[in-house]
């Protein structure tokens, strides 16, 4: 199995070193290569390095404290006009978010997925803060930076969660 998948962890402490723009572009490019329903690609990415905006997000999101030291964040948004059918933007943006997290790790950048959807109050504040159009919905916010912490890789493989041909039949 790919080491990047196994070693990716949520990083919540970052150094003061800024991520370079070409590296950010590569990380976002990975998000754009995620699968999407009928290849509609209903995502948009807002790159943020405004620490005043980070402070406002921290005020309304109890789990966004890692933005205090983040170099950047990427707001992954879904375009309701471009999704294949109602609700598909969610899985599409989830796939894009995961690609971004994995690419960040492969480039030596720490990351942490900060949930937005389905918390309407968080989504509304972020939508207003960044002046998102009506048809654009915030899905996730990804804190990025050079890691200032290391985390072990836990053993998450659980064969009891795998079935063969029908529910309840062990693999």
Span 52-82, pLDDT tens digits: 999 999 999 989 999 999 999 999 999 999 9
Query: Does 160 reside within a domain?
Result: no
- State the total domains in the chain: 1
Structural domain span for residue 105: 3-151
Residue 34 lies in a domain: yes
Residue 157 belongs to some domain of the structure: no
Q: How buried is 144 (Cβ within 10 angstroms: 0-12 exposed, 13-18 middle, 19+ buried)?
A: buried
pLDDT (tens digit per residue) in 29-56: 999 999 999 999 999 999 999 999 999 9
Instruction: Pick the closest to residue 146 from 23, 2, 6 (CA basis).
Output: 23
Let me know if residue 166 belongs to a domain: no
Q: Is residue 93 part of a domain?
A: yes
Specify if 169 maps to a domain.
no
pLDDT of res. 1: 75
**Tens-place pLDDT, residues 128-167:** 999 999 999 999 999 999 999 999 999 999 999 999 999 9
CATH of the domain at 105: 3.40.109.10
Distance CA 128, CA 122 (A): 10
The reply to whether 140 falls in a domain is: yes
Residue 7 belongs to some domain of the structure = yes
Rg (CA), the chain: 17
3-state secondary structure the chain: CCHHHHHCCECCCECCCCCCHHHHHHHHHHHHCCCCHHHCCCEEEEEECCHHHHHHHHHHCCCCHHHHCCCEEEEEEEECCCCCCCCHHHHHHHHHHHHHHHHHHHCCCEEEEEECCCCHHHHHHHHHHCCCCCCEEEEEEEEEECECCCCCCCCCCCHHHCEECEEEEEC
């Amino acid at each position: 199995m790919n080491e990047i998948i196994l070693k990716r962890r949520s990083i919540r402490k970052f150094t003061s070193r800024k991520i370079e723009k070409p590296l950010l572009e590569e990380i976002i490019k990975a998000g754009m290569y995620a699968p999407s329903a009928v290849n509609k690609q209903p995502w948009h990415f807002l790159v943020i390095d405004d620490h005043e905006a980070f402070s406002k997000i921290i005020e309304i999101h109890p789990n966004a404290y890692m933005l205090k030291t983040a170099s950047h964040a990427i707001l992954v948004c879904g375009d309701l006009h471009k999704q294949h059918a109602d609700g598909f933007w969610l899985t599409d943006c989830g796939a894009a978010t995961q690609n971004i997290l994995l690419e960040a790790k492969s480039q030596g950048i720490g990351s942490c997925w900060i949930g937005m959807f389905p918390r309407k109050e968080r989504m509304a504040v972020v939508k207003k803060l960044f002046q998102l159009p009506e048809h654009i919905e915030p899905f996730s916010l990804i804190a990025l930076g050079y890691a200032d912490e290391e985390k072990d890789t836990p053993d998450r493989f659980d064969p009891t969660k795998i079935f063969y041909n029908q529910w309840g039949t062990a693999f």
